[in-house]
Amino acid sequence: MSLLEIPPFEALTQGTGPYSGFGPIMSDEEASRRFERVVSEAWGRITETFGLTLSRDEAGAEALEKLASRMWREGWDPAAADVNLFVRDFGSIFMTVIHAVLGGELVFRSKTDLSHASLWWPSKRLEVFPFHKVYRRFVDRDGESLTFFLDALAKKLAL
């Protein structure tokens, strides 16, 4: 993902399956194993760099949001930083938190790019894109928080 193109959405409803506009859906189990390696690396980097203790529950999303808010307060400038690194790390953990808390099917579209990875709930015909949400959080200072997104998603899935 680059700063030049903000993804057009963070959630889709009423689809008959995961959105195909970002490429074919990968069905191999290797994608999940690769994703877990990325999550492990991201967890380590964030823990080491920021001294955070993260968890795979709502508290994990709260910790990520507090850190993103702190970064903005302390002068975060997306034009001068490696947004992609933060989106990959925060996004992979945020996707893991959403999956642990609310379930859903993990959807991968690339072996090397997680930008359009998503979670899909067939019974609700709902798909969310955690990396899109995190990207917006890092380019829009006043954008919707990660915790608000998680809470809204939980309410949508409870209907």
Domain count, the chain: 1
Classify residue 2: in a domain, yes or no: no
Contact between 157 and 121 (Cβ < 8 Å)? yes
Query: What local confidence, expressed as pLDDT, does residue 27 receive?
Result: 79
Classify residue 14: in a domain, yes or no: no
In Å, how far are 24, 35, 157 from 101, measured between CA atoms?
26, 18, 11
Low-confidence ranges of the chain (pLDDT < 50): 1-4
Classify residue 62: in a domain, yes or no: yes
Query: What local confidence, expressed as pLDDT, does residue 3 receive?
Result: 38
pTM over 0.85: yes
Query: What local confidence, expressed as pLDDT, does residue 12 receive?
Result: 87
Per-residue HEC secondary structure of 33-84 comes to HHHHHHHHHHHHHHHHHHCCCCCCCHHHHHHHHHHHHHHHHCCCCCCCCCHH
Q: Residue 119 sits in which domain range?
A: 26-158
Classify residue 16: in a domain, yes or no: no
pLDDT in tens, 124-155: 999 999 999 999 999 999 888 999 999 999 99
Query: What local confidence, expressed as pLDDT, does residue 4 receive?
Result: 38
